Amino acid sequence: MSEEEDMEDSDTEAEAEDDADPIDAERRRRQRHADRLRRSAGEPQKPDISELRKMMPTFLAMLRGVLAE
């Protein structure tokens, strides 16, 4: 079972308990949010990806040379 499936299962269980104790539910929600922030801390923002058409012919020639070896 993946981490996402585990989180979905715990979310459905938490939603059922939310009706019983909203304060505890808010604590769990904040804890999950803090965990997500902790896991992503230090990761740089990913740059936009764009194709450099001027480099394509040279790159393909070098790639073909490497793959032909």
Question: And the tokens for 22?
Answer: 């909203």
Query: To which H or E segment does residue 44 belong?
Result: none
Under a CB-based contact definition with an 8 Å cutoff, are residues 14 and 28 in contact? yes
CA distance readout (Å), 51 to 40, 42, 55: 27, 27, 9
Question: And the tokens for 11?
Answer: 């979310």
Q: What is the pLDDT of residues 51-65, one digit of tens each?
A: 888 889 999 999 999
Residue boundaries of the structural domains of the chain: 1-42
The Cα 21–Cα 14 span in angstroms is 10
Q: What is the pLDDT of residues 1-53, one digit of tens each?
A: 444 445 555 556 656 555 678 888 899 999 999 888 888 777 777 889 988 88
Which 8-state DSSP code applies to residue 52?
A: -
Full-prediction pTM beyond 0.75? no
